[in-house]
Structure formats: C-alpha cells, structure tokens
Copies of this chain bind each other. A is one copy, B any other.
Amino acid sequence: MAKLAEFESRTGRRPNILVYLMDDVGWGDLGVYGGGVAVGAPTPNMDALARDGLMLTSAYSQPSSSPTRATLLTGQLPVRHGILRPTLYNEAGGLTDAITLAQLLSDAGYVTQAVGKWHMGENPGSQPQNVGFDDFSGFLSVSDLYTEWRDPYFYPEIVYSEERTEMMREFAFEKYWVHAEKGGTIEQIKEIDIEVSSHLDEYWKDYSIEFIEKMADSDQPFFLYHCTRGAHFDNYPRDEYKGLSPAKQAYKDTIVELDDILGELVEALERTGQLENTLIFIASDNGPEMESWPDSAYSPFRGAKGSTWEGGVRVPAIFYWKGMVEPGRVSDGLFDISDIFNTCLTLAGAADSIPTDRYIDGVDQTSFLLAEEGLSNRKYIYYWLMSYFSAVRLAEYKYVQFAESDSGEGIVNPGGFTGYIMAFPYYHLYNLYLDPKEEHNVSIRKLVFTDLFIEAMQKHIATFREYPPGVNIITGH
C-alpha cells in the first residue's frame, strides 16, 4: 500500500503494534457501542480512540478465551490450531507446533513483548517465551483459576476444609504471576491470591509502560501484546476503583480501570513520541460470560460467551493509528480476529513469512484499515462451536446449522457454557441488520440465498480435506 510505503519512507521505520485485548468484555460495554454511561461504566478513552479511528461493528472473536487468543496469534481457526475451549488448571495448550505472529514478527526484527493474561496452556512448549516473545510478564492461565477456590463465597467447601485446601496447595498448576525471557524458563514473581489479583492490571500496566518508555530509544519496532486480567470473573477491584463506576459493581469498576489503563498506555506512547508510529488494536476475546452474572459484561445480542450467537462472538474492535487510520470511521465490514495475524505481518513488511505449509484463515485487512474508505477484504465469517461448524455470515446474513440453546429444558442460569447443541434439520437464516438479536428465522422467505451459503460452506469444508485438522470436526454439510 502506498500509504504504508509513505509512512516507512517518512519515518524510516515499520510501525509498532499494540494489541490491547480485554477479557470477557461485551460489545455493548463501550460507550460508542451503546453502553458506557448507559450501563453504569463510562469508557471515555475507548470512545475517544474509536471516534478518532476505525470502529468495527462486525468484528468476530471465537466463543471463548483460549481459542480466540490462539487464533489471533496463529491466524487459524480453533479446529486448526487445536485449542477448542479455555485451558483449565494445569492443562497444556496447543502452541507447541504453532507458528505464531510473535515468532514471525520477531524473525522480522520486531521486539516482541507479551504482558498479562496468556491462557494458551501451561506446558513449556505453549508458553510465550517459547513461541516467539522476547519477554513475558503475566499469568499463564485465567483470572478465576487463581482465586475462585480461595474465596469462601464461591468455595466454602475448600476454604473451610483443611484437607481440600492442602489438596489445592499440592495441585501442580501454576499459581504465580510469572516472568520469562525468550527461550528461558518461567520465574515466579508473586503468588496470586485475591489481593494480588486486584492489583494485577495495575502491575501489568506499569510493566507495559516501562516497555513503551524503553522502546522510545530503540531502532527496532515493537509488538506489544497486552492482555488484561479484567474484566474476567471474578473481579475484585482494588481500593482506588471500588465503587468508582456509577454502577459501583465489581465488573463495572473493572471496566473503568481498563479504560483508564488504555488511556495511560496511549499517554505513554504520546509522551515518548511513539503514538504516530503505533497501530493500536483494542478488542475483547469473546462476549459476556453470563453464568457469572452480575459479574458480567453486556451485549445487546442474543447468546453469550461460549456460544456462536452474536452475543458470544461479536466483540468491540477499534483500530487507532494517528495520522494513518482516518478518524471518524465506523464500518460493519466483516473482520475476524484471525485477520490480525495477516494484517500485522503485512504492516511489518513480513507478509512473505505467512506459512504455506498449513491453512491460514486470516486475511490481510491493511487496506481496510488504511484506505480512507477502505472496505473489508473478508467475505465470510465462519462460526465454529467447539468442533461443530455452526454458521456462516455473508454480508448481513447469517446461515446457522448448529447453535447453542440459551433457554429451555433444565436451564435456569442460561449462558454459553450451559446450553445444548441444537442441530437445525434445515437451517436458520438471520438478517443481522433487521434482526440483530437473531429472533426471526427467515430461511423459508429467502431461499434464493441458500446456494450461496452451501457453496461457501463447502469451500470452507474443502480446506479441511486439503489440510486435515487434528480434531474430529462435525461439518453438517
């Protein structure tokens, strides 16, 4: 792209990349997406970046944390990279044979820094310092696994049992905030109890700011992959944030902190003269986790984290790059989190390094971001629900063959980890412009589109014949 070439010749650099990935934050939580003040937690910094950048209304994650994160870093859908659901206590991940964005950027001369939540496996082969990051400071798993069993509100049966407490102490999962350098082994920094958990996002913000300050003097561009602890359950805001949101609830206070942290990172980039050199991508890893309500996000859409309804996978996504991404753009062009892989490599001048020995699902969205009225280069969103090929989106239409129930027999606390698979014997078709909440199946009224979707699905399925995945997939068609 001419604009990118112009940037590089003007600055003599390739752009820095900051990914700010929040946890379990909903499409509807941000002010610019209809939340913010309306839902008791203003997000002025995110709103400002959205208004001064490109705000996406149809950006998609995977249904849960680990799958999304591995998709971002590999450019592959979960059925290809193999991490289909969140990794739990002491579980290995699936990055051992992966080729990651961090590795390729590192190979291309980027300084690669991971900060915060990892959650792609505790095994050494899946740890950040072994998959391309020069440095990592954060935790290997996910917020609740460090604290849930320490909280008598959630686990009286452990907290008030010496035997079970001892069992947890001996359970060999990583209980520490850890640090590691490229190729090394992790060192434990601090055991994460509830009090420490409250402060993690603050510590990690400081770590990233130090990194940003350090990089101001570097000739190398950087890739900063900053993943917050919040606002994943269970949120225990630190004292400064307790009750700071109008809603005064833990989740909402955490949103306020996450917004402040983003503001501070941007401020650090500006202060160190790097703001114009840095593409910032802000997103969430999935939709609201509703089984933990009220410690939950908000999405106007149907369904929740864990499902492939829009509520589970349609996430806030903002690109900001001062002087390079035209301000004030809002687009409903399709964007998949896997596109970050291809787009970042293109921005880094390393598109040639995109693997050809495996299928990459991401597409390069550089022109979507940088052209003044850029359009998405993606035609389809493929929704996978664990190993089920759930749905396809094409333009405003979503064709669904498998979905998760969000109510019904035996479901009293609905959420994306509670429903059952509904296999539609025919299929459902939703118009997401006219029916954003997916209530009106119009398949029988829009038959002319059927073949478009069947063809799209068959082409997608064909990629699995050419590159057989490591998991059994249920393709429907």
Chain B residue numbers with a CB within 8 Å of A39 are 433-434, 436
List which A11-52 residues lie within 8 A (CB) of chain B: 28, 31-42, 51
Interface stretch among A143-151, A217-225, A292-300, A384-392?
A: A292-300
- Nearest CB of chain B from residue A235's CB, rounded to whole Å: 12
Q: How many residues of A contact B (CB 8 A)?
A: 37
A365 in contact (CB, < 8 A)? no
A440 in contact (CB, < 8 A)? yes
List which A310-357 residues lie within 8 A (CB) of chain B: 330-332
A152 in contact (CB, < 8 A)? no
Contact partner of A434 among B37, B51, B293, B434, CB < 8 A?
Answer: B293
A435 in contact (CB, < 8 A)? yes
- Interface 1/0 per residue, A206-225 and B, CB below 8 Å: 00000000000000000000
- Interface 1/0 per residue, A366-401 and B, CB below 8 Å: 000000000000000000000000000000100000
Number of this chain's copies in the complex: 2
Contact partner of A300 among B36, B252, B296, B300, CB < 8 A?
Answer: B300
Known contacts A247-B396, A433-B249, A35 near B34 by CB under 8 Å: yes
A468 in contact (CB, < 8 A)? no
Query: Complex Cα distance A169/B399, Å?
Result: 45
User: Would B34 and A431 count as touching, CB distance under 8 A?
Assistant: no
User: Would B431 and A294 count as touching, CB distance under 8 A?
Assistant: yes
- Interface 1/0 per residue, A423-441 and B, CB below 8 Å: 0000000010111110010
A66 in contact (CB, < 8 A)? no
What residue of chain B has the Cβ atom nearest to residue A395's Cβ? B246
Q: List 16 A-B contacts (CB under 8 A).
A: A28-B436, A32-B34, A33-B38, A34-B34, A34-B300, A36-B330, A40-B332, A40-B396, A40-B433, A40-B434, A41-B433, A246-B433, A251-B434, A294-B434, A296-B434, A298-B436
By a beta-carbon cutoff of 8 Å, the part of chain A in contact with chain B is 28, 31-42, 51, 57-58, 246-247, 249, 251-252, 293-294, 296, 298, 300, 330-332, 396, 431, 433-437, 440
